[in-house]
Amino acid sequence: MLELDLHFRRPGFRLDVQGTFSQPVTGLFGPSGAGKTTLLRLLAGLERGTGRIALEDRVLADSSTGTCTPAHKRGVGVVFQENRLFPHLNVEQNLKYGARPEKAAPGLYESVVHRLQLDKLLRHRTHMLSGGETRCVALGRTLLTLPRLLLLDEPFTGLDGDRKRRATELIRSFTETHQARAFLVSHDMESILALTDRLLVMNGGQVAGCGAYAGLLDSPAALPVLMSAGMVNVMRMAVQWSDESQAVTYCRPLPDENGCGCADAAEAPLFKTPYLPRPAGTAVNAVLNPRDILLTSRPIPGLEADREASRQNQIAARVVRVIGGVDRVLCILDAGMRLIVDVARNALPPGLEEGRTVWCLFRTESLRIA
Q: Judge if 199 and 347 occupy the same domain.
A: no
Question: End-to-end distance of the chain based on CA atoms, in angstroms?
Answer: 29
Cα–Cα distance, 267 to 73 (Å, whole number): 49
pLDDT score of 308 more than 60: no
Q: Assess contact for 108 and 142: CB atoms under 8 A.
A: no
* Mean pLDDT for the stretch of residues 271-299: 91
- Between the alpha carbon of residue 208 and those of residues 16, 49, 53, the distances in Å are 11, 20, 20
Q: Measured between alpha carbons, how far is residue 204 from residues 39, 151, 220, 224 in Å?
A: 12, 20, 15, 13
Structural domain span for residue 365: 233-369
Question: Does 99 lie in the same domain as 54?
Answer: yes
Residues 18 and 124 in one domain: yes
Based on the domain organization, do 84 and 156 belong to the same domain? yes
Question: What strand order describes the sheet that includes 283-288?
Answer: 271-274, 248-253, 233-243, 283-288, 368-369
pLDDT score recorded for residue 263: 45
Which positions ≥6 away from 23 have C-beta within 8 Å? 196, 198, 257
Q: Are 316 and 335 in contact (CB under 8 A)?
A: yes
Residues 174 and 264 in one domain: no
The pLDDT value recorded for residue 102 is 56
Are residue 237 and residue 330 in the same domain, yes or no? yes
Who has greater pLDDT, 284 or 262? 284
The CA distance from 284 to 188, in Å, is: 19
Q: Tens digits of per-residue pLDDT, 100-155? A: 665 667 788 999 999 999 999 999 999 999 999 999 999 999 999 999 999 999 99
Chain segment 163-190, per-residue pLDDT in tens? 998 999 999 999 999 999 999 999 888 8
Is pLDDT of 260 > 60? Answer: no
What would the mean pLDDT of 328-344 be, rounded to a whole number?
A: 88
pLDDT at 244 > cutoff 60: yes
Domain's final residue, options 188, 203, 228: 228
For residues 138 and 12, membership in a common domain is answered with yes
Co-location of 133 and 258 in the same domain = no
Where is the domain boundary, 177, 195, 228? 228
Position 249 scores a pLDDT of 93
Residues 216 and 326 in one domain: no
Return the SS3 of 238: strand
Domain count, the chain: 2
Q: 248 and 312 share a domain?
A: yes
Task: Identify the CATH number of the domain in which residue 246 sits.
Answer: 2.40.50.100
